[in-house]
């Protein structure tokens, strides 16, 4: 409907994040900063806030139609080339950041993401740090800590992420000779959970920031058997097989749209012995299982309640390659 409802209290939302979101809205009103106009494709589109369950650190991202910077520039134009309105908006943003970081000591970074296109995607391609006491936040899952950059993907409910990823590890049942491929790996969370128990972990993701975090975290954690690349699974996996890396186990954690048709074809072509499917949309999961069940037996499906008091649920599916006739 594109009709927005002002929600100042949500019982299932993190209280600190809710307070910060409410304060940002009031500051935008106070300084009269332009809010996104869908017809003109101008203004602040989205505000993204993330809080570490482990440390309480908070990251903020302002997704805007214009490129902004605390040094008084809008990429790529210097201040003197800006319009009078643009220069005023920069001052207003400076004021908002000053007020916000002074009031909430938990905020360790504030970024601006430039998104000028008229699409439903949340982020644009360019992100710039406006304020950084610390460029990443530290989160913990499956008995290890890792660093998260602002643009890197992680589960919205970090507390339940422990349950979800724990179920994925249980379904994989890692063995010392396993060669694991972690598709849609994000910052490497599931792969790190099995790295000490398997021969190797190869992961890929289309978001460069996520892969940069995965590589840095693997190095910091001492996982020398982990390898990560930026790109699409359906393109990278065949290349790995051609170069001699034949996986015995595959983990997929796709977006709500489910597995890409090309990736489904790749999986059914190479058919690793073990397959674990982590799904955030049971409708697309069902569609994908119609195809995968021709090549794999479904041993069990475990649901995980990631969003209490909503109709949404995640699922972890354990599959094993069918015996050849």
Binding residue positions for S-adenosyl-L-methionine: 155, 184, 205, 253
Query: Which of 172, 175, 200 has the alpha carbon at shortest distance from 320?
Result: 172
Catalytic residue, candidates 10, 25, 226, 280: 280
Active site residue 226: no
Opening angle at CA 175, ends 204 and 181, nearest 5 = 10
Pull the structure tokens for residue 301: 């499906």
3-state SS string for the chain: CCCCCCCCCCCCCCHHHHHHHHHHHHHHHHCCCCECECCCCECEEEEEEEECCCCCCEEEEEEECCCCCCCCCECCECHHHCCHHHHHHHHHHHHHHHHHHHHCCCEEEEEEEECCCCCCCCCCCEEEEEEECCCCEEEEECCEEEEECCCCCCCCCHHHHHHHHHHHHHHHCCCCCCEEEEECCCCCHHHHHHHHHCCEEEEEECCHHHHHHHHHHHHHHCCCCEEEEECCHHHHHHHHHHCCCCCCEEEECCCCCCCCHHHHHHHHHHCCCEEEEEECCHHHHHHHHHHHCCCEEEEEEEEECCCCCCCCCEEEEEEEECCCC
CB neighbourhood size of 114 (10 A): 20
Judge contact between 147 and 138, C-beta under 8 A.
Answer: yes
* Known binding residues: 155, 184, 205, 253
Active site residues: 280
């Amino acid at each position: 409907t594109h009709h927005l409802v002002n929600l100042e209290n949500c019982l299932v939302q993190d209280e600190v994040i809710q307070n910060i979101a409410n304060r940002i809205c009031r500051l935008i009103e106070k300084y009269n900063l332009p809010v996104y106009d869908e017809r003109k494709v101008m203004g602040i589109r989205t505000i993204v806030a993330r809080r570490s369950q482990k440390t309480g650190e908070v990251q903020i991202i302002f997704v805007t139609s214009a490129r902004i910077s605390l040094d008084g520039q809008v990429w790529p134009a210097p201040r003197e080339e800006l319009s009078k309105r643009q220069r005023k908006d920069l001052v207003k943003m400076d004021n908002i950041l000053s007020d916000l970081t002074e009031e909430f000591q938990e905020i360790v970074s504030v970024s601006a993401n430039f998104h000028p296109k008229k699409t439903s995607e949340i982020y644009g391609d360019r992100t710039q740090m406006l304020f950084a006491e610390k460029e990443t936040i530290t989160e913990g899952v499956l008995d290890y800590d890792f660093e998260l950059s602002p643009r890197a993907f992680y589960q919205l409910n970090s507390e339940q992420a422990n349950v979800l990823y724990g179920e994925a590890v249980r379904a994989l049942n890692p063995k010392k000779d396993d060669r694991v491929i972690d598709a849609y790996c994000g910052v490497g969370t599931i792969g790190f959970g099995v790295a000490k128990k398997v021969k190797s972990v190869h992961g890929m993701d289309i978001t460069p920031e996520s892969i940069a975090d995965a590589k840095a975290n693997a190095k910091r954690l001492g996982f020398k058997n982990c390898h990560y690349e930026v790109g699409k699974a359906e393109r990278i996996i065949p290349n790995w097989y051609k170069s001699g890396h034949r996986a015995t186990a595959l983990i997929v954690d796709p977006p709500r749209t489910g597995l890409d048709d090309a990736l489904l074809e790749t999986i059914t072509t190479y058919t690793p012995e073990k397959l674990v499917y982590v799904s955030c949309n049971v409708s697309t999961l069902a569609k994908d299982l119609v195809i995968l069940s021709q090549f794999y037996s479904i041993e069990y499906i475990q649901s995980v309640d990631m969003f209490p008091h909503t109709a949404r649920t995640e699922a972890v599916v354990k599959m094993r390659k069918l015996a050849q006739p």
